[in-house]
Every structure is written in structure tokens, then in C-alpha cells.
């Protein structure tokens, strides 16, 4: 009988799996430094084309929602599995529930058997900002100011992660249409980090003042174009997590370089109508920049847009590490198959 794990918890592969609740995922001892290192490994594998990750397959019970199946195999980590994620933008207002929920399944690469099922909320909340800040460090080393649009789950974690990868940061500006969310972010995170967190006055002030900016607001087919193209000066690095919704689509088109985490994923969203007018020309993938296959910033005046919509390779690599730690520490519930 093949087993995985070691004392104190072993699994009989093909007979059992380990189920991890959200709190157990958070509590296995993976630090944000670990998450950054694991996410970097996943991005490097992606950049070197050492992965299998078909573009997301989705179903859409309502016009404004999506469910995505996100499978991936990363040979370097012997990691294989799938995230099944939902995005319901109306959840916070209507049901007091998160926009993004989901489950992650990890399989045993040798036999294919499922060995772990876990809540994927924390993984998503961790690996998304990790990608943003790793990209920011590669595309804008030495940045002194970071601006975050959206102070929800993602925005809050972005502010935690930003100083870890951007060591020269002197200030972080945050902005949300919901002032309570802005205040909550500042109150929660300021005691944790040395860099000063400042409430942004307006989207225009944010983009005029910050060298590097990210957005995690909502994803809709129609663009909101909250930041007008004419406000964006040269030399900025913009890192949307919310596709093309928040920014004026003209900005991605005129950027000196438009970089995406996955060309295939972006093309899929473009085919679904999320890029009215079509996908801007893609210069490189984020993992290629991290792997040195594509260049980082080439001049101080370069305007770079780097859109990261989220890749299963990152989820699976982080999820596998969580499963391994949980087995080592005897956390979670073993369920029979
Ligand atoms: N790229 C990825 O890998 C990835 C992963 C997870 C989530 N997301 C996306 O990131 C976004 C945020 O997710 P979340 O879990 O943090 O959601 P959340 O609901 O916790 O936070 C979103 C915040 O954005 C604010 N907001 C909405 N419209 C705004 C606007 N016009 N200007 C400023 N703020 C605005 C809301 O008030 C809210 O506080 C969603 O669109 C989600 O689909 C992307």
C-alpha cells in the first residue's frame, strides 16, 4: 500500500484523503516568505514552459459570475491538482460572503489518486499578492511608492506583501470606494509594517504619486475606466489583478509593454468579452520576466502594464506545500474515499 506523509499522519493513497479547513490551511506554519518562495518557483516553472496548465474551463449560472476549473501539473515540484473557484461580485453586498471562494484538490502524481482537499480562500489570498509583488520587484526595482486600489481581501494582503519584495518603499497609498474598507486596512496593517500607509485622496492623485500600482476591485465585462488614461504618467508599473475592468483600456494599449501571467488565460477572457476591443498585444509572460527570458524594466520612462489574472501552477505548488506541512504536523481530518 502506497502512503504519503510521515509521522504523525500518513495517508493510505487511494483509500483516504486529508481534508483541510481554511483555518487549518492558515495554521500549518507557511509564512509569507514561504509563500513568496513557492510562488516564485511556480512562476519560474511557468516562464520556462515546464508546466501543464490548460486555460480555465468555466460555467456561468448568472451573467456576472464565473466558476473556473483550474488544473495544473508542475513537474519540478511533482505537484498536480486542480482549483475549483467561484467569483460572485455581488456576494459581499447581498450575502455578506466573499466574492471569491473555492476548493483545491491535490492528487498523488504517481497514482493519480486524490490525497488532499482544502479550502482555497487563503491560498488565493496569498498567492495573488505574491505574484503581484514578485512582478513588481522584477519590473520596478527600487520603487519608493506603491498604490493599492481596492482594500478588500486582496488589497489588504497586497499591502502586507508589498514591503517584503519592494525593500525601498517609503509609502503605500490605499484607496477604496468604501471608506470603511480603507480605514480597516490601515488600522489592521499599519501596526504590522514600518512603511507608512496613507489614505489615497482620489484615483488621480494615487496614479500621479505612486510609481507602482495594483488594483483588486471587481471583474466585469464592461470596463469601469476609473483611472483615466491621460492621468497615467510615463514610468509607471501597473499590476491589475482585476483584468481590464479598473483601468482605462487605452492605457494597456499604449503601454510600452503589456505583460500577462498567462497569454492563454488572457486570450480566454478576451474571447469571453472581458476585453472590449480585443486583447492588447502581449510582450511577455510574467514568469518569463522572473526567469530572465524576457527583460525587466528597460528605462525609467517605460510604462509597463502587467496583468496577472491568476494561475493554477501557483495554487497547486502552494497547496501541495500546505498538504505536506499538515501531514507533518498532524493537522486536518483524514476522510475515507
Ligand atoms: N488575479 C487573481 O489571481 C485574483 C485572485 C483573486 C481575486 N481576484 C480579483 O480581485 C478582485 C478583488 O477580490 P477580493 O477578494 O479582494 O474582493 P473584496 O470584495 O474583498 O474587495 C474588493 C474591494 O474593491 C472595492 N472596490 C470595488 N470597486 C471599486 C472601485 N471602483 N474603486 C475602488 N475600490 C473599489 C470594494 O469596495 C472592496 O473593498 C476581484 O475582482 C477578484 O475577482 C483576482
Q: Which of 297, 275, 309 is nearest to 212 (CA)?
A: 297
- What ligand 1 atom has the least distance to the C-alpha of 175? 33
Q: Tell me phi and psi for residue 237, to 5 degrees.
A: -120, 115
The three grid cell numbers given for residue 74, joined into one nine-digit string: 508542475
Q: What is the structure's pLDDT at 88? A: 92
- What ligand 1 atom has the least distance to the C-alpha of 308? 1
C-alpha 94 – ligand 1 centre gap (Å): 15
Q: Tell me phi and psi for residue 90, to 5 degrees.
A: -85, -5
C-alpha 288 – ligand 1 centre gap (Å): 26
The domain segmentation of the chain, as residue ranges, is: 3-123+313-336, 128-311
Pocket test for ligand 1, best of 160, 180, 216, 305 (most atoms within 8 A of CB): 216
Q: What is the structure's pLDDT at 1? A: 78
Q: What is the structure's pLDDT at 56? A: 80
Find out whether the beta carbon of 223 lies less than 6 Å from any atom of ligand 1: no
Q: What is the structure's pLDDT at 257? A: 97
Q: What is the structure's pLDDT at 233? A: 98
Query: What does the pLDDT look like over 193-212, one tens digit per residue?
Result: 999 999 999 999 999 999 99
The three grid cell numbers given for residue 275, joined into one nine-digit string: 476585453
Q: What is the DSSP letter of 67?
A: E
| Domain 3-123+313-336, CATH class in plain words | alpha beta
Weakly modelled stretches of the chain, pLDDT under 70? 6-7
| Domain 128-311, CATH class in plain words | alpha beta
Q: What is the structure's pLDDT at 212? A: 98
172, 143 in Cβ contact below 8 A? no
* CA-closest residue to ligand 1 atom 37: 178
Q: What is the structure's pLDDT at 285? A: 98
**Which of helix, strand or coil describes residue 112?**
coil
286, 311 in Cβ contact below 8 A? no
Query: Is-above-0.95 flag for pTM?
Result: yes
Q: What is the structure's pLDDT at 145? A: 98
Pocket test for ligand 1, best of 88, 218, 314 (most atoms within 8 A of CB): 218
C-alpha 320 – ligand 1 centre gap (Å): 26
* CA-closest residue to ligand 1 atom 29: 217
Amino acid at each position: 500500500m502506497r502512503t504519503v506523509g510521515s509521522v504523525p499522519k500518513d495517508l493510505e493513497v487511494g483509500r483516504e484523503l486529508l481534508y483541510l479547513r481554511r483555518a487549518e490551511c492558515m495554521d500549518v506554519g507557511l509564512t509569507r516568505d514561504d509563500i513568496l518562495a513557492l510562488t516564485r518557483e511556480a512562476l519560474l516553472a511557468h516562464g520556462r514552459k515546464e508546466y501543464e496548465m490548460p486555460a480555465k474551463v468555466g460555467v456561468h449560472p448568472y451573467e456576472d459570475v464565473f466558476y473556473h476549473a483550474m488544473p495544473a501539473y508542475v513537474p519540478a515540484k511533482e505537484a498536480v491538482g486542480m482549483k475549483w473557484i467561484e467569483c460572485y461580485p455581488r456576494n459581499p453586498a447581498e450575502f455578506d460572503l466573499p466574492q471569491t471562494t473555492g476548493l483545491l484538490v491535490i492528487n498523488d502524481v504517481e497514482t493519480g489518486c486524490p490525497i488532499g482537499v482544502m479550502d482555497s480562500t487563503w491560498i488565493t489570498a496569498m498567492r495573488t499578492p505574491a505574484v503581484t509583488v514578485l512582478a513588481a520587484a522584477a519590473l520596478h526595482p527600487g520603487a519608493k511608492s506603491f498604490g493599492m486600489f481596492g482594500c478588500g481581501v486582496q488589497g489588504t494582503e497586497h499591502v502586507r506583501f508589498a514591503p517584503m519584495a519592494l525593500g525601498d518603499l517609503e509609502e503605500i497609498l490605499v484607496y477604496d470606494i468604501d471608506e470603511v474598507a480603507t480605514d480597516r486596512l490601515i488600522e489592521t496593517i499599519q501596526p504590522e509594517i514600518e512603511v507608512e500607509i496613507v489614505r489615497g485622496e482620489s484615483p488621480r492623485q494615487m496614479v500621479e504619486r505612486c510609481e507602482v500600482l495594483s488594483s483588486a476591485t471587481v471583474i466585469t465585462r464592461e470596463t469601469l475606466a476609473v483611472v483615466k488614461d491621460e492621468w497615467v504618467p510615463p514610468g509607471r508599473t501597473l499590476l491589475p489583478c482585476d483584468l481590464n475592468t479598473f483601468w482605462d483600456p487605452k492605457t494597456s494599449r499604449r503601454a510600452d509593454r503589456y505583460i500577462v501571467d498567462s497569454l492563454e488565460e488572457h486570450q480566454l477572457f478576451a474571447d469571453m468579452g472581458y476585453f472590449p476591443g480585443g486583447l492588447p498585444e502581449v510582450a511577455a509572460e510574467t514568469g518569463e520576466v522572473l526567469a530572465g527570458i524576457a527583460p525587466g524594466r528597460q528605462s525609467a520612462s517605460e510604462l509597463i502594464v502587467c496583468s496577472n489574472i491568476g494561475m493554477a501552477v501557483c495554487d497547486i505548488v502552494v497547496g501541495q506545500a500546505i498538504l505536506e506541512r499538515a501531514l507533518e504536523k498532524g493537522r486536518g481530518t483524514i476522510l475515507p474515499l
